[in-house]
Amino acid sequence: MTMPQTQPHPAAPDFAAIEDAARLIAGHATLTPLLESPLLNARLGGRLLVKAEPLQRTGSFKFRGAFNRIGRLSAAERRTGVVAFSSGNHAQGVAAAAQLVGAPAVIVMPADAPGIKVANTRAYGAEVVSYDRFGEDREAIGRRIRDERGAVLVPPYDDPHIIAGQGTVGLEIAAQARAAGIAIDAVAACASGGGLVAGIALALEATSPGTAVHVCEPAGFDDHARSLEADARLANAPGAQSICDALLAATPGEITFSINRRLLHSGIAVTDDEVLRAMGVAFRDLKLVVEPGGAVALAAALSGKLPVAGRTVVVVCSGGNVDPLTFGRALATL
């Protein structure tokens, strides 16, 4: 399946939209730290900085994009509320953002989503509708609820406000590096639909143009890497499995890929074992709880697939919503 694209998507946000998002989310989102471990740097022979989005409100970067969309709802839209489909981090971001503006939220979540993600989404006051990830179409369920209730659909990535909101991660990385006098050779971030890495690439194009941006994915779900090579949106083969529950989208988004094909350097795929080891290193050397999907960029750096030696590399750890049982598997790698 190929879907050739030669034009930039008309709905793609620009850099000004990211600056605007930064203004809107300020005081609601957390300015997350860039963490660093001198011991880890010594082992890698370079400088590795970790953008710590597990410390973001709701435990992942997803709050940024969700609030940048939901914070713009009209008074009438706030009354009818929002609907979203999500494996769990976008769910929590949308639920928390909706709660902050007083809008009801319905979230369509897979029946096998991690318990912590379902529990927290409900704790933020949202109604959760479960579906079977292997037999039902979450987008169709989301659209049906939107039509029945008149709710605003908040998509997980293919939306200019969502992409611009996630782009504030890149804006912060550039500002934090500049303040510390650090020049960044490369930035790596994960992708499911590609909103985070697209937003980061847009932000760095304007603020740190010499920085190479890489997209990282679980093995078997490397649709972005293959799409970049083919310069066309390719789907993952069905039937693949990964512990990275947050990164299982089947293809790159349309808007996101129109940005990523122009701005990304390359894609890197990592195995579940590499992800679990990266979670263990984040526990031991950074004192940071990272979920599997949040650890793929760190895994790329630690595995050597993204070289750090002699360079300064920033990896985004995108979320930390992980159940104790899965975290125990990461501890067992130490």
Tokens of 288: 């940071």
Q: Phi then psi for 74, rounded to 5 degrees?
A: -75, 165
> Does 250 interact with a copy of itself (rule: CB under 8 A)?
no
H or E, element range at 24: helix 15-25
Q: Which of 5, 15, 33, 127 binds a copy of itself (CB under 8 A)?
A: 33
- Interaction between residue 177 and a copy of itself (CB under 8 A): no
Distance CA 25, CA 30 (A): 9
- Among residues 26 and 140, whose Cβ is nearest to a copy of itself? 26
Within residues 276-315, the interface with a copy of itself by CB under 8 A covers 280, 283-284, 286-290
In the bound state with a copy of itself, the residue whose beta carbon lies nearer, of 17 and 308, is 308
- CB of 194 or CB of 320, closer to a copy of itself: 320
At 108, is the secondary structure helix, strand, or coil? strand
CB of 54 to a copy of itself, least distance (A): 4
Q: Which residue stretch of 14-22, 219-227, 269-277, 324-332 sits at the interface with a copy of itself (rule: CB under 8 A)?
A: 324-332
Q: Which of 4, 7, 39, 238 binds a copy of itself (CB under 8 A)?
A: 39
Question: Cα Rg for the chain, rounded, in angstroms?
Answer: 18
Query: What are 220's two structure tokens?
Result: 């078997």
| Residue 96 near a copy of itself by CB under 8 A | yes
Q: Among 1, 42, 76, 309, which residue interacts with a copy of itself (rule: CB under 8 A)?
A: 42
Q: Is 8 in the site for a copy of itself (CB under 8 A)?
A: no
Nearer to a copy of itself, 10 or 181 (CB): 181
Beta bridge partners of 26: 29
Asked if 128 touches a copy of itself (CB under 8 A), the answer is no
By beta-carbon proximity to a copy of itself, the closer residue of 33 and 220 is 33
- Per the CB < 8 A criterion, the answer to whether 317 and 299 are in contact is no
Gap between the Cα atoms of 40 and 48, Å rounded:
8
Of positions 124, 157, 221, 257, contacts a copy of itself by CB under 8 A: 124
Please report, for residues 60, 71, 132, 136, the alpha-carbon distance to residue 105 in angstroms, rounded to integers and kept in the order given: 18, 13, 20, 21
Instruction: Kindly state whether residue 61 participates in binding a copy of itself, applying the rule CB under 8 A.
Output: no
Q: Shortest Cβ distance from residue 325 to a copy of itself (Å)? A: 8
Residue 324 lies near a copy of itself (rule: CB under 8 A): yes
Reference 123, options 61, 76, 182, 59; nearest CA is 59
* Residue 76 binds to a copy of itself (criterion: CB under 8 A): no
Please report how close the Cβ of residue 294 comes to a copy of itself at its closest, in angstroms.
9
Q: What residues have CB less than 8 Å from 186, skipping those under 6 apart?
A: 211, 212, 213, 214, 265, 306, 311, 313, 314
Task: Report, in Å, the least distance between residue 141 CB and a copy of itself.
Answer: 26
Query: Please, what is the minimum distance in Å from the beta carbon of residue 225 to a copy of itself?
Result: 28
d(CA 60, CA 190): 12
Burial 154-170 (b: 16+ CB within 10 A, else e): bbbbbbbbbbbbbbbbb
Q: How far is the CB of 140 from a copy of itself (least distance, A)?
A: 31
Q: Name the amino acid, one letter, at 15.
A: F
Tell the residue number behind the tokens 């909101």, with chain if given: 165
Give me the amino acid identity at 145: I
What is the smallest separation between the CB atom of 136 and a copy of itself, expressed in angstroms?
Answer: 29
Residue numbers at the binding site for a copy of itself (CB under 8 A): 30, 32-33, 35, 38-39, 42, 54-55, 57, 59, 96, 116, 120, 123-124, 280, 283-284, 286-290, 320, 324, 327-328, 331-332, 334
